[in-house]
Every structure is written in structure tokens, then in C-alpha cells.
Amino acid sequence: MSFPRKVSAETLDHLNENDPRAMRSRRDLQRVHQVMGTRSIVCNGLNELVPHFSPGRLRVLELGAGDGTLMLSVARALGPDWTAIDLTLLDRQKLVEPKTVEAYEKANWKVDIEVGDVTDWIRNNVRAQREQEPDRWDLIVVNLFLHHFEGANLANLLDAIAGSSSRFFACEPHRSYFALTGSHLIGALGANAVTREDAVLSVHAGFRGAEITKLWQQTGRQWKVSEYSAGLFSHCFSAHRL
């Protein structure tokens, strides 16, 4: 048994990047990811999705990358097989600190920071596909990002991702009463009011079952897909172009 999906605006998404509440909330999210086991979930998903490498570097794009620290923890944990990576971190705010870029470089991940709204990325992607010159990515990754979208906006985002990548992995909130209960207890981690409120909204906007798969199939492209719950609070979607 579950409850209907409901997407609501989250406070953190509308705060200035230098707002003390936002800065505190981003630190909160690092602890939340530790409790959720997000790093291990993403690592397992990526290793299954990319079991071996072709010659040359792997081009990876993370949409809604935030401060880049979650993907950095993933990069460190993936190990020596993942050391020829060209990573682009896209977010509408400039949040990635120089020390984070340096840490990526030590892991032999070449990082490019792009500041822009995903709606512009979708628009440019659609134009490029129309002109048959799409920017090709070996892998696109999102973490706690898809749940911000619904309806046509979510469908357009998935279509743009499918049209410009060979592989796609998403780690999102799992929509369940258990996860909802957990979101109400997040204050026990010392989270501030912004994080506490947004955590509840995230679960309400999360996914379950094959909800992402049904939308993905509407892209009209041939993919091998997998959608599953992971850990206690996460919901994952994985796609590999056939």
C-alpha cells in the first residue's frame, strides 16, 4: 500500500546559494546520504550498468549535481577501474568548491563545472537532436533529482536524457509509508528546518514500482531497463541502450 505521488516546491531549491540555511541544509544532506547508504547504492548501480570500459575515456554527466561531493564519494569508492572519466557537473547554482575539484583530480577524474538550468539543457538537447547533432554522453547520472519533476516536464527530461546518452542511472526517494516515517525523524540527525521539511516533501514526490519505466518507454527507443527499490529509502532506475 502506498499513497499518490505529489510534487511540491522544496525550500532548498529556492534559497540563494550563500543563504546560511541553504549552506547548513547542504551539509545536512551529506549526513543524510551517509544514513541512506547512497554512495554504495550508486556504486553498485554504476558497476552493473558499466561492467567494462571501451578504449578511451568515459564521458559522464551528472544533472542537478549540487556541490559535487556525493559523486566525489562515489568516484573514490569505485576504485581504479574508474580512473579515465571526463565528468561534467551541471547545476543551476555554482556550488562546487575548488577543493572538491582538486579531490576529483586526485582520483584521475577530469571535471568540468557547468552552471545552468536543466530546462535550458533540455531545450538545447532537443534542438541538437532535431539537427541530428546531439551531444553524446556515455553515462548520465542523477541523484535525488527526477522527483522534482512531474507530468510533461518529467517526460521531456527523460526524453532528452534518452536522446543523448548510452546509459542512465537515477537514485531517487522511495515513496512508501516507511520512508515517510523516516523523513519525519530526520531531525534526529541534527537537520535544520529546511532539510526536515524538504525530506518529507521528497518522499511524497518519490517513486515506486515501475513508474519511471512507464515514462521511459514513451521515448520510443530500445533500452534494457531495471527499476528497483534499494536500501530502506531509495528507488533506482537503470537503463542501457541496446
**Mind listing the domains of the chain with CATH numbers?**
11-241 (3.40.50.150)
pTM listed for this prediction: 0.94
SS3 content of the chain, % helix, strand, coil (to 5): 45, 20, 30
- Block residue for cell numbers 554504495: 40
Instruction: Please state, in angstroms and rounded to a whole number, the distance separating the CA atoms of residues 168 and 117.
Output: 19
pLDDT tens-digit profile of 154-172?
A: 999 999 999 899 999 999 9
pLDDT > 90? residue 82: no
pLDDT tens-digit profile of 175-219?
A: 999 999 999 999 999 999 999 999 999 999 999 999 999 999 887
Instruction: Give the list of residues 6+ apart from residue 198 with CB closer than 8 angstroms, or none.
Output: 10, 11, 12, 25
Distance from first CA to last CA of the chain, Å, rounded? 34
pLDDT confidence band for 220 (50 / 70 / 90): confident
pLDDT of residue 133: 67
Question: What are the distances in angstroms from CA 131 to CA 30, 63, 139, 215, 219?
Answer: 40, 23, 22, 24, 18
pLDDT of residue 222: 87
Instruction: Give the list of residues 6+ apart from residue 20 with CB closer than 8 angstroms, or none.
Output: none
pLDDT of residue 135: 67
- Evaluate the CA torsion angle 75, 190, 9, 120 in order and state its sign: negative
pLDDT > 80? residue 1: no
pLDDT confidence band for 132 (50 / 70 / 90): low
Which carries the bigger pLDDT value, residue 124 or residue 224?
224
Average pLDDT of the residues in 106-118: 93
pLDDT > 70? residue 134: no
Instruction: Give the list of residues 6+ apart from residue 36 with CB closer than 8 angstroms, or none.
Output: 231, 232, 233, 234
What single letter denotes the amino acid at residue 170?
A
pLDDT of residue 56: 61
